[in-house]
Structure 1
Amino acid sequence: MMTQDMLFQGWSGLLRTLIVGTLAYIGLVTFLRISGKRTLAKLNAFDLVVTVAIGSTLATILLSKSVALAEGFTAFALLIGLQYLVTTGSVMWPRFARTVRSEPRLVMHKGEFLHDALRRERVTEEELLSVIRNNGSAAPDEIAAVVLESDGSFSVIPKPEGGDTANFASADLPGRG
């Protein structure tokens, strides 16, 4: 009996999931189209949290019988509305932007590890070497710079042809100057 409940609890649950799931999906797509591309852009950690929260909300609407579709739509509207307010505030007030997002940080420059930056960002040299290898470079001396971006990804900037890094002044790179 218990095994049967784990595998199949009845047709009403499946029907509810199909109907509510379809309507929740349509509602979410509609909200996202109205709110614009920025809502799901993962430009920083805050954006990622909102994206995960929206996905979690959708899953809850689909699978929890105790959450009505109207409550789910309210949750979508709240998350997307708050995201809109935070991103608008970030554009309007630079000080506010600094409180809700991190700045990119230079972690390698001209093939040299920037140990203070690595320590502050809790990145090891081995992890950075892995990033460089995954980018298709064999060694740090082939790299002009590596930047840890606001969203947690790494940008690897190779040295230009001939290895001249004169065009890569440290003041021009994020986290330096």
Structure 2
Amino acid sequence: MSILPIIGKLILGFIILLLIMRLMGKRNLAQLNAGDVIYLLVFGGILEESLYDNKVKYGHVILTMIAWGLIIFLFEYLLYKSKIARFILKGNTDVLIKEGDVYTKVLKYNRLELDQIHSIARNHGIFDLSEIKNMYIESDGGFTIETYDYKYPLKEYDYNNYDLIKNKTINTINLRKINQNEVWLYQQLNKRGIKSIEDVFYADWSFDRGIHIIKYK
């Protein structure tokens, strides 16, 4: 098999794919959604199948990739015009935390856990969960965080936090570190109308601002 047809198809596929990517808009890799990934996978499959098959001519490659590009264009146009189609095919923004409380079902639906919330917060420069007022997961998988208003920006070293309740388990070691016990902890929960640690998503203590409790909503 001659190498020249393969190289020619590769160059042709690269040019067409680049043009269609430009038509999709100036989105970076972090902004690619599920539809974009499917577009690229099918493009790759079309090009791969055509490379080593001599029966597939240049015209076939061009027509197939243009046809797929047209399908993409019509699909994106449908999403642009129809709010219902956008909701069904791309999803919608979900509220994870509202006014400091966690929406349990939304968290589970998006397969998120406490450690991931901590990691996402740190990526946004937030090292204390008590700063988070509202938290959203966007339809493209990105996160938006609205914080409470503070007079000065907080840094990681500003607080030495002690986990008290995590994964519905009381951390007795940290309770001893802050010179408290489980009786005191349940008193703090009762003050906020919480009867069981099953209703607590997360709780910690800082000597700078006291106890902070995030409830399940």
TM-score over 0.5 (shorter chain): yes
More helix by share: 1
Q: Is the 8 A contact 1:107 1:114 kept in 2?
A: yes
- Provide structure 1 residue ranges, at least 5 long, that are not aligned to the other structure: 1-9, 164-177
**Match for residue 10 of structure 2?**
21
Identity of counterpart residues, as a percentage? 19
**For this pair of structures, how many residues does the alignment match?**
150
**Match for residue 141 of structure 1?**
130
Instruction: Give the distance between the partners of 1:40 and 1:133, measured in 2 at CA.
Output: 22
SS in 2 for 1:108: strand
Q: Does 1:64 align with 2:45?
A: no
Match of 2:97 among 91, 103, 108: 108
Match of 1:82 among 71, 76, 81: 71
Instruction: Give the distance between the partners of 1:74 and 1:126, measured in 2 at CA.
Output: 48
Match of 1:118 among 107, 126, 142: 107
Instruction: Give the distance between the partners of 2:69 and 2:146, measured in 1 at CA.
Output: 34
Deviation string 1:121-159 (CA, Å, 9 cap, x unpaired) is 222222222211222211211223221111122223333
More strand by share: 2
Instruction: Give the distance between the partners of 1:57 and 1:158, measured in 2 at CA.
Output: 47
Give the C-alpha shift of residue 105 in structure 1. Answer: 0.6
- Which residue identity does 2:25 align to in structure 1? K
Rg bigger for which structure?
A: 2
Inter-CA distance 64–133: structure 2 relative to 1 (3 Å threshold): farther
Q: Is the 8 A contact 1:109 1:144 kept in 2?
A: yes
Q: Does 1:161 align with 2:150?
A: yes
Deviation string 1:6-54 (CA, Å, 9 cap, x unpaired) is xxxx8x33x3332221222223334445x45279894642233223333
Deviation string 1:76-134 (CA, Å, 9 cap, x unpaired) is 22322122212212222222222211001111234432212101222222222221122
